[in-house]
Amino acid sequence: MPQLVDGKWEKGDVAASEMRDGAFHREPTSFRNWITSDGSPGPDGQAALPTEAGRYQLFVAFICPWASRTLMMRNLKGLQDIISVSIAEPELGENGWTYAEPQDAGPRLAKIRYQHELYTASDPHYTGKVSVPVLWDRKEGRIVNNESADIIRILNTAFNQLSDNMLDFYPQTLRPEIDRWNAPIYEKVNNGVYRAGFAKTQGAYEEAATDLFEMLDTLEAHLSQSRYIAGAHFTEADIRLFVTLIRFDCAYHGAFKCNLRRLEDYPNLSNYLREIYQWPGIRETVRIDQIKRGYYSIAHINPTRIVPVGPALDLDRPHDRARLDGHGVVTL
């Protein structure tokens, strides 16, 4: 995978630092500032910028599950007219994430075609992977944050005074339970599919695949008794899980060899997936065609780059999740 080295774009497989002993290890994100209503420090003392309508922009790609988290939260919080969005092409080519048309990034940077331009504008000597999503400050011409887990929490609260949307997807009372589930879901499912798909040894692949399907089995059992991950309330834990589940049968099952079972083989998980997909504002964040194009364009995964015609997915089929309805369910 190409990346930036001291502010210069290097083509070829220069991001080999993510592979160790045949196993995939995700590179940590680098930009971790915050946005708060008044510019006061973030929850862990991070430097923060103040809330302003039209000041911030998301740079994302429909293929990317991490980016889809932020699109989901933007829609659920009603921020479509407050935070603008630019959508990259699904294929990750020799220039990295690319926009079909030049994107307006504000007066300091003007228009960009490549995601790496945002990174070098923020740090002229940046070295590392260039990823989506990016939460961008159009006013100052720099990246605020490129960690999706942070961005969804920023969007959850920072713009409440502008949107009048008080839905809380990380409520104080549920945080211990949300965090308890987030950790294994990230390691074994969200990142687990990549550990399986990018593995370069049989052992690394089998370890990742075993972890993945054991966790899916655990989630299947849990969702037989609980409508959502943290109980009766839909929370960020569900957002974080959904973005991997929606890509499972159409991409990870085939392209990443996560093929012990399909998601359709899990009654509770597949019903849960359809319920969330059918919520207002969620289907707009999902483009199955772009997801397939993107994953099957990865040359070392699929050298022919032929995109399969299937599988046939019916995400609008009725679901049975109302049987687990309880008090306090967030409805939209």
Same-domain check for residues 232 and 310:
yes
Residue 112: beta bridge partners? Answer: 103
Catalytic residue, candidates 56, 99, 114, 194: 194
Output the average pLDDT for the chain.
Answer: 95
Q: How many domains does the chain have?
A: 2
Statement: residue 98 has pLDDT above 50: yes
Residue from 64, 250, 266, 296 carrying the catalytic annotation: 64
Distance CA 51, CA 157 (A): 10
In a domain, 330, yes or no: no
Chain centre distance of CA 72 = 9
Nearest to 210 by CA among 193, 198, 226, 224: 193
Q: Would the pLDDT of 17 be above 80?
A: no
d(C-alpha 178, C-alpha 183), whole Å: 9
Quick: pLDDT tens for 130-185. Answer: 999 999 999 999 999 999 999 999 999 999 999 999 999 999 999 999 999 999 99
Same-domain status, 114 and 216: no
With CA atoms as reference, report the closest residue to 49 among 154, 123, 169.
154
Are 149 and 257 found together in one domain?
no
Question: Above 90 in pLDDT, residue 332?
Answer: no
Residue 26 confidence (pLDDT) above 80 = no
For residue 22, pLDDT beyond 80: no
**In CATH, what number is assigned to the domain containing residue 157?**
3.40.30.10
Residue 69 lies in a domain: yes
C-alpha to C-alpha distance for 149 and 40, rounded to whole angstroms: 20
34 and 180, same domain (yes or no): no
- Residue 156 shares a structural domain with residue 178: no
User: For residue 185, what are its two tokens?
Assistant: 């879901």
Question: Domain range for residue 16?
Answer: 3-163
194 is annotated as an active-site residue: yes
For residue 17, tell me if it sits in a domain.
yes
Has residue 299 been placed in a domain?
A: yes
pLDDT value at 202 more than 60: yes
